[in-house]
Structure 1
Amino acid sequence: MLRKHVAPLAALLAAGALALSACGTTGSAQPSPSSSPTQQQETGSSGDVSLLSGTARSNKADEQAGDLAPDSAPREVKNKWVQLRASQAGELNPVVVNGAGFTLYRFDKDTANPSKSTCNGDCAKTWPPVTIAKGGKVFFSGIKKADIGAVTRDDGQLQLTVKGWPVYRFNKDAKPGDTNGQGVGGTWFGVRPDGQKAGDAAKPSTPATAPSSAPPADDAELGDQVTLFTGKDFDDFSGNNFATGITGPGCKDIRGTFLSAVPSGPVKLWAEPGCKGTSVVVDDDARDLTALGFPNGPKSVRFAG
């Protein structure tokens, strides 16, 4: 059964006095009139960073800052927000990408328990760490909130972690979807939403889009909000893709084709308008609704009430 775990952010860990380690290197649908874009409710925070379910765009983040800031922007602008999204990049599926669609990586010479980054100096120029300002926002979809954390680097910056592993970009990835860092030096791999290595090095995992096997006993147990995306993998940025928020109570029709979803709690998706036909209960982020039996997306959704 899909579950959205709600737990405090992983505790911030102070950087130790470990010696620096060398790193490996190499040379369109339209939204329903009753459905308007809706900011996701905050689903967790700490004194260091805030975690918000959904994407930067669905949360109306500043698109001139964070992952979308121009290269010339100062660090404090770039570090305002980071997006972590489960997606596909090249042959890596799933793998975590940032708000601009760039693949994120983990380093075998780091440690996850305790979290520790060993990529500094020239290494960090080749593999820029994914950093965030204290008080900055982390938007996440397709990743469990409890698996997102932060660690203090040797230079004092906060670096995001997935299941304890510090995450990085690769400076030879020139465009979204590139995976040129995969396997570099035998130590660098795309990071999966569960913190494991993406690709052939990864062990099989349960798909994030599996239907709920034990639906709520009655509709009163359902949630009251869902954000739907016209693209798979919570894509509301590329091409003509967009997101729309729908709130309860009761049954609401969905006009358009939406292929992924971030619910605020369990919701029941239906194949036909008016909450008719076949249905599936989802209570966690669904990367691909076609895999749940909705080739053209669900056509209605039931909330509590």
Structure 2
Amino acid sequence: MADTLLDVRGLVTHFATRRGTVRAVDDVSFHVGRGETLGLVGESGSGKSTTGKVIARLIPASAGQVRLDGEDWLALSGDALRRRRRDVQMIFQNPYASLDPRWSVFHIVAEPLVTHRVVPRRALRQRVSELLDAVGLDPSHAQRYPHQFSGGQRQRIGLARALALDPKLLVADEPVSALDVSVQAQILNMLRAIQRRYALSILFISHDLSVVRFVCDRVGVMYLGEMVELAETAVLFREPRHPYTQALLAAIPEPTTRRLRTMVPIEGEISSPIDPPSGCRFHPRCPRAEAICRQEKPAFRELAPGHHGACHFA
């Protein structure tokens, strides 16, 4: 589609370990439109963070295709990859670990500008000041070090660094989970304002459904390395089709619909990605599972216009 920035088809990421092969991401497909925010949600171990890191080219994919602006993103290497890296930037979960404690804020934000030779050195200070101002930080604090800032301020520094190269896609991996609730709201509002200002596309990874509902245009639900449901945010919260999505929404302290109050919360732990269940991977925990769920993997299909799911009974 002409308005698609990122197109992911059949993405697979496996890791070899002594215990066996970890199937972290298995045949995941989705797209992110220009100026759109797509959320990825799921329990720990669902593969959402691994998906984000593959798209940011921090870890390699085992198979599948990722196209960025129509170009084969995973096939790029060497100078070609170096030139295009500026188009995809990432915000990390932990603002205390993602900034070098030995560098000043100026050097942290200026590093990508220097590496990619975006602005001449004489203009570095001006550009860094503009970026700090854009994320709500005082440019006069550029010579301070990360330990002199709060968690929310550190996350703003990370965002300034990510914006330095004018990226087209921002991968935000749990960007507010380590912050206080009041600070979360500040960061989320700022992120939405910056998205509009810079016309960014965002892949927003989170386990907090209330945050995803506030930020995202569409939501993809992942379970044990697979995409099980994908729809517009309002539709997903109003009419979830997959039992796993229904259980996630029912776990919210105040369920969004009266019908979800009758849902029985899922029991047990997510299965091992080394030895995932046959058929539907959710069937060991699904209250609606039948024999076909154990034997046959459900296709990820369109259930309604723009609403996809992988369940035999959706």
- TM-score (ref. length: structure 2): 0.29
Larger helix fraction of residues: 2
